[in-house]
Amino acid sequence: MILSLQKRHRQIWTVFAIVLPVLFVMSYFYIPAQPINPATTDYSLFPMIYNEKEDAKFKIIERKLELEEEIKYQLQVIVKEPIRESSTLIYISENDKITDKIPVGQVFSKGSYTLKILDPLQKNDRVIFYNPITKKIFHRL
């Protein structure tokens, strides 16, 4: 490099040595953060747990509600991880034959869903996760 370019080189890097680190630090520390909204549901409000089971993706809580003279059963389905299916219906069945059965409900995004059931779950009953679009069972619990 000839002398004028050497001088230019020094000038450029002297300016860079000041400007780049300052902008670098600023551009990292001023990254706008993703804001968090308060949670809406406090599950501890529903203590009457009758039965529960869970795996990595879902948690099932069965509740028995004794209301006046009536006893009602609820199935709380907690979707722990986003479901990677286009549609999800919930069935209760002791085997995979669900075509003649009526679904207890559907679930969507990660979160908690309360479904009303008529009878308590039997010993061999499983909660079946069925995709009506692909017509496939994709999960059992």
Partner 1 sequence: MASKDDFYIGYLPHVPQPIAKLIRFSVGIMIIGVIIFALVLATNQWNLQANDFEFGKTTELTGVLQATPVPNLIIDNGQDIHGNPLYQSVLLIGLGKFGADSLVQHFENQIKTPLNQTQVTLKGTLIYSDGKTLLELTDEENAFVSSSSLDSAISLPPIQKIGKTELKGEMVDSKCYFGVMNPGHGKPHLSCAVRCVSGGIPPVFWTKKADGSTDYYLVLGKNGEAVQQEVLPYIAEPACITGEIMMYLDWKIIYTDTDNIKPMGCSGL
Partner 2 sequence: MLGLMVLFLAIFIGVSLALFGDKITGETLIIRATGALAITMLHVILIIGPLARLNKKFLPLLYNRRHLGVTMFLVAAIHSVFSILQFHSMGDTNVFVSLFTSNGDYFSLTGFPFQTLGFFALIILFLMAATSHDFWLNTLSPKIWKTLHMFVYLAYAMLLFHVMLGVIQLEKSPFMVILLGIGMIMIIYFHLKAGYRQAKMGKLREKIELAGFVQVCTPEEIDENRARLVEINGQSIAIFKYEGKLSAINNFCKHQNGPLSEGKFVDGCITCPWHGYQYLPDNGSSPPPFTEKVSTYHLKLIDNEIWVNPNPEPEGTHIDAILIS
**Interface residues with partner 2 (CB under 8 A)?**
1-3, 5-10, 12-14, 16-17, 20-21, 23-24, 26-28, 30-32
Residues 6+ apart with CB under 8 A from 82: 109, 110
Residues 6+ apart with CB under 8 A from 18: none
Residue 136's nearest CA partner among 88, 81, 71, 78 is 88
CB of 96 to partner 1, least distance (A): 18
| Footprint of partner 1 on 9-68 (CB under 8 A) | 26, 30, 32-41
Among residues 74, 105, 120, 140, which is the contact residue for partner 1, using CB under 8 A? 105
Question: Is 98 an interacting residue with respect to partner 1 (CB under 8 A)?
Answer: no
